[in-house]
């Protein structure tokens, strides 16, 4: 299996982004040219969606997941056809995308997370590293990032809007050797892995960037943690990442009031 080198990655990345922009621009001018059964806006959306990780896909750091492989593995049928068409046109050998082993979800917690076994809940060896948060607490911690980085607001608010309002969530710090989704910083912001209860009751794995100091200041209430663990039984197989949950959500709940609220332009005055 031959993985792309740096120059090849740069080349493919620039090519796909260029092609996506051209196609999106054309679809905006000529909606009737859309080939997607749901029309030009959906076609624009799925193209933008599959290219989502490309801006940072040039380099490949050893402990990070390969954005190209992730892009390929999470692409739906339409997106995969789009990728195949353009990679064929470019004439690049992309067999490694097909042959790469299935990536763990970027946010999948390691086996040491609280796990449900036939005998009941198995606690990790360091239960103190886990904290149980209700939605209100998680919201206030997650929004600390927005103060420093207003550009993160859209992403953070979208995540928060889809949590169950009275849901419970279990979080812990990312561990050494685990996939990095957001690098450390600014200041003492770190990536936390989470078991989240979504608005439809689904329990998914996700991540939040939180201040280390704020997380440390939360009480380590083990009784509460145990209670929350019992409520948040993750499916043992087919565990979903919050990103894939979001995609299912868009497909099945088109009339979501939270999505509608977030899509509205914000008042700036």
Q: Which residues bind Zn ion (CB under 5 A)?
A: 256, 258-259
User: Which one, of 71, 90, 83, lies nearest residue 20 by Cα?
Assistant: 83
**Among all chains, which residue has been given the structure tokens 């040219």?**
33
**What is the nearest approach in angstroms of Zn ion to the Cβ of residue 127?**
33
Q: Residue with CB nearest Zn ion? A: 256
* Cα(105)–Cα(234) distance, integer angstroms: 15
Least separation, in Å, of the C-beta of 258 and Zn ion?
4
- Of 222 and 256, which CB lies nearer to Zn ion in the complex structure? 256
**Which is nearest to 207 in space by CA: 136, 247, 140, 156?**
156
**Residue with smaller CB distance to Zn ion, 92 or 259:** 259
Distance in Å, CB of 142 to Zn ion, minimum: 17
Cβ nearer to Zn ion, comparing 182 with 258 = 258
- Non-local CB neighbours of 33 within 8 Å, separated by 6+ positions: 26, 27, 40
Nearest CB to Zn ion, comparing residues 218 and 256? 256
Is 123 or 256 the residue whose CB approaches Zn ion more closely?
A: 256
Alpha-carbon gap, residue 80 to 85, rounded angstroms:
8
- Cβ closest to Zn ion, residue 122 vs residue 258: 258
Closer to Zn ion at the Cβ: 84 or 153? Answer: 153
Distance CA 147, CA 143 (A): 7
Smallest distance, Å, CB 155 to Zn ion?
14
As measured in angstroms, the least distance from the Cβ of 37 to Zn ion is 22
Nearer to Zn ion, 203 or 225 (CB): 203
Shortest approach of Zn ion to residue 181 CB, angstroms?
Answer: 21
Rounded to the nearest whole angstrom, what is the least distance from the CB of residue 144 to Zn ion in the complex? Answer: 23
Q: Please, what is the minimum distance in Å from the beta carbon of residue 151 to Zn ion?
A: 21
Q: Please enumerate, as own/partner, the contacts of 7-15 that have beta carbons within 8 Å and a separation of 24 or more.
A: 8/92, 9/57, 9/58, 9/59, 9/60, 9/68, 10/58, 11/90, 11/92, 12/68, 12/87, 12/90, 12/92, 12/94, 13/54, 13/55, 13/57, 13/58, 15/86, 15/90
Asked whether the bond before 186 is cis by omega within 30 degrees of 0, the reply is yes
């Amino acid at each position: 299996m031959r993985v792309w080198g740096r120059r090849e990655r740069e080349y493919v990345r620039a090519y796909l982004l260029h092609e996506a922009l051209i196609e999106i621009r054309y679809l905006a001018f000529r909606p009737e040219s859309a080939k997607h059964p749901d029309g030009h806006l959906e076609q624009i959306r799925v193209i933008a969606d599959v290219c989502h990780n490309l801006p940072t896909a040039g380099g490949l750091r050893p402990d990070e997941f390969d954005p190209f492989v992730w892009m390929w593995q999470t692409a739906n049928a339409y997106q995969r056809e789009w990728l195949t068409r353009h990679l064929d046109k470019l004439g690049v050998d992309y067999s490694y995308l097909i042959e790469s082993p299935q990536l763990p979800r970027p946010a999948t917690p390691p086996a040491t997370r609280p796990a449900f076994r036939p005998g009941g809940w198995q606690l990790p060896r360091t239960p103190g590293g886990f904290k149980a948060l209700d939605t209100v607490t998680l919201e206030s911690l997650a929004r600390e990032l927005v103060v420093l980085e207003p550009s993160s607001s859209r992403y953070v608010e979208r995540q928060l809007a889809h949590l169950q309002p009275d849901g419970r969530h279990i979080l812990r710090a990312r561990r050494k050797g685990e996939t990095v989704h957001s690098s450390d910083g600014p200041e003492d912001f770190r990536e936390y892995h989470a078991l989240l209860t979504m608005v439809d009751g689904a329990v998914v794995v996700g991540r939040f960037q939180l201040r280390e100091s704020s997380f440390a200041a939360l009480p380590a209430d083990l009784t509460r943690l145990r209670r929350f663990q019992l409520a948040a039984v993750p499916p043992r197989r087919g565990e979903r990442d919050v990103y894939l949950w979001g995609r299912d959500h868009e497909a099945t709940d088109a009339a979501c009031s939270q999505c509608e609220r977030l899509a509205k332009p914000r008042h700036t005055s």
